[in-house]
């Protein structure tokens, strides 16, 4: 199992619609809006890195998303 947080950057005023769409995606365990350098944070769980990549790609392609940053859990 792979866990990650995805920081999602949105066009001005688009974060409510982006948040709504992100919450619908399989693998997204929790998503919420934040104040700071990004607009939305999504917590993701996937079976492997390939699946995690597919989920983040879907997020990146959503209307209103300008960029994403994926922070994968370090298994040390």
- Residue-wise pLDDT for 12-71, tens only, equals 999 999 999 999 999 999 999 999 999 999 999 999 999 999 999 999 999 999 999 999
Neighbouring residues of 63: CB distance < 8 A, sequence distance ≥ 6: 14, 17, 18, 21
pLDDT at residue number 16: 98
Residue 75 above 90 pLDDT? no
Domain regions of the chain by residue span: 2-72
pLDDT at 24: 98
- pLDDT of the residue at 9: 99
Report pLDDT for 76: 80
For domain 2-72, give the CATH number.
3.30.70.920
């Amino acid at each position: 199992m792979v866990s990650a947080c995805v920081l999602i950057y949105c066009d001005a005023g688009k974060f409510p619609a982006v948040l709504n769409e992100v919450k619908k995606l399989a693998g997204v365990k929790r998503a919420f809006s934040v104040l700071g350098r990004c607009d939305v944070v999504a917590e993701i769980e996937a079976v492997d890195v390939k699946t995690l990549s597919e989920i983040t790609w879907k997020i990146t392609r959503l209307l209103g998303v300008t960029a994403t940053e994926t922070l994968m859990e370090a298994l040390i």
